Chain A
Amino acid sequence: MALVGDLKDLNIATLVQLNCVEKNTAELTVSARKGPATVFFNKGEIVHATYSGERGEDALYRILSLAEGEFRVTAVTEVPDRTIFTSWESLLLEGMRVIDETERGKARIAESVGEELDDTPEIEGYVLASEKGEVIATNRSDDGEKLAAAAVLLAWKGEGVASRMVLGEMSILALLTEKDMTFFADCGRVLAAIIAKKSTASEQLYGLVDSVRRKLKYCELTQASQGPEIIP
């Protein structure tokens, strides 16, 4: 019988540990925002993981950072070819270290990008938020949390449109009115909301928002393997 639940009630590290200690041969799947995340256990050893185009240990470390999503653990008789050879204890320890570094690195990078946006006169306001909608950096004291919540919803909806219509990854979602332009960008583990005046050349603004997105996204990729890095 499958074990089904929500990561808000049982965190991912505990779930992994449970399967390892119980020496299960099982498949753990999580419905995450970037698609399904999967971990296979063979007699209590973690043998394979996939998530968002990655596989093996890199995928597992990203899965260990998931805080939201429904999970399902199903007993299986066969597992895919092994891509993970490290003991589960070491994987969990390393996973926790990567998450900790990533969180600290994310805050530093967001602060750096925030300072850059502060110095850009075309930008009226910005919010950088976590995937869970927590504000990391903003200059909008009045509606920062509101924009962060909108960013989470729009990231989900954008991904929905992209996957249903097979359009590839959504880079930017913008609302253009006669007065201003509001941009939302999914930068991996960081979501950005940027508000600019309409008078500025729009393609210049799209370029600026895309540059922010790429910086945050690139940093996310480098952090997983090399630790935090700030792009100058």
Chain B
Amino acid sequence: MAVSANTIAPKNVRDLLENLAPLGQIDGVRDYLLADCQGRVLARKPGSFWKEDVAAACARDVAQVGEIFSLLTSADATEKVLDFRFEGSLLLVWDWGGAYLVALCGHDVNHSIARMTVNVIKEELRKDRRFKGYFAPPSGGDESLLTEQHLGKELYRYVAALKQT
């Protein structure tokens, strides 16, 4: 099963995959995964063509980008979508505060349908107490992904400028 067993219970993963399944039915959506705000893969599309290490690295990158953006935007923004545009594809990322839903799409994807579908998924998951943590911003105790250890010396020096008020 496409999951990090250390992060989430198998039953929860099955339920998650069931909840996320409508995303895979949208024309233009090629692959998807759900990661937590620490960049750990919680669940990904069954039969995903991303290798596990690629999915993990992508989840980490996305979580870092999410953290960078959180330092730029006001805390009261309730709907945050990251849109990576590449030559032949889009990577759409819905930032739920405590988790990121990542979908690899073609440029032909219908954004409105994707948005509506994700809203339905989000509302269904929000009702489930097991997934409550996905919709809360990370608490102060959570480890930042913008450390020198994560970014390397060269990039880390930009974090100080980014954190200036």
Residues of A within 8 A of B (CB): 6, 68-69, 133, 145-150, 152-154, 156-158, 160-162, 164-165, 167-179, 182, 206
Asked if A153 and B87 sit within 8 Å, CB to CB, the answer is no
> In angstroms, how far is the closest chain B Cβ from the Cβ of A126?
14
30 contacts between A and B (CB under 8 A): A68-B154, A133-B161, A146-B164, A149-B159, A149-B162, A150-B72, A150-B162, A154-B65, A157-B65, A158-B65, A160-B57, A161-B62, A164-B57, A165-B50, A165-B104, A167-B84, A167-B87, A167-B91, A170-B84, A170-B86, A171-B85, A173-B65, A173-B83, A173-B85, A175-B69, A175-B83, A176-B81, A176-B83, A177-B79, A177-B80
Known pairs A164-B58, A165-B54, A165-B104; A149 contacts B85 (CB<8 A): no
Asked if A169 and B86 sit within 8 Å, CB to CB, the answer is yes
For the complex of A and B, 4 pairs with smallest distance between CB atoms = A168-B87, A149-B161, A167-B86, A177-B77
> In angstroms, how far is the closest chain B Cβ from the Cβ of A118?
21
Residue in chain B with minimal CB distance to A198: B79
Q: Beyond A172-B85, A175-B73, A182-B69: 19 further Cβ-contacts under 8 Å? A: A150-B68, A153-B68, A157-B64, A161-B84, A161-B91, A164-B57, A165-B58, A165-B91, A167-B87, A168-B88, A171-B87, A173-B84, A174-B85, A175-B80, A176-B81, A177-B80, A178-B78, A179-B74, A179-B77
Residue in chain A with minimal CB distance to B95: A175
Instruction: Please measure, in the bound complex, the distance between the C-alpha atom of A160 and the C-alpha atom of B73, giving whole angstroms.
Output: 23
The 0/1 profile, CB within 8 Å of A marked 1, for residues 56-72 of chain B is: 01100110110011011
Residues of B contacting A: mostly: mixed
Residue in chain B with minimal CB distance to A173: B84
Interface size on B, residues (CB 8 A): 38
CB contacts (< 8 Å) of A168 on chain B: these are 86-89
Asked if A160 and B61 sit within 8 Å, CB to CB, the answer is yes
Residue B82 at the chain A interface, CB threshold 8 Å: yes
Number of CB contacts from chain A to chain B under 8 A: 115
Partner of A156 from the list B80, B84, B104, B155 (CB cut-off 8 Å) is B155
Asked if A161 and B58 sit within 8 Å, CB to CB, the answer is yes
The 0/1 profile, CB within 8 Å of A marked 1, for residues 128-165 of chain B is: 00000000000000000010000100110011011010
Asked if B61 and A150 sit within 8 Å, CB to CB, the answer is no
Asked if B69 and A145 sit within 8 Å, CB to CB, the answer is no
Instruction: Please measure, in the bound complex, the distance between the C-alpha atom of A161 and the C-alpha atom of B62, giving whole angstroms.
Output: 8
> In angstroms, how far is the closest chain A Cβ from the Cβ of B54?
6
CB contacts (< 8 Å) of B154 on chain A: these are 6, 68-69
> In angstroms, how far is the closest chain A Cβ from the Cβ of B2?
16
Instruction: Please measure, in the bound complex, the distance between the C-alpha atom of A150 and the C-alpha atom of B82, giving whole angstroms.
Output: 14
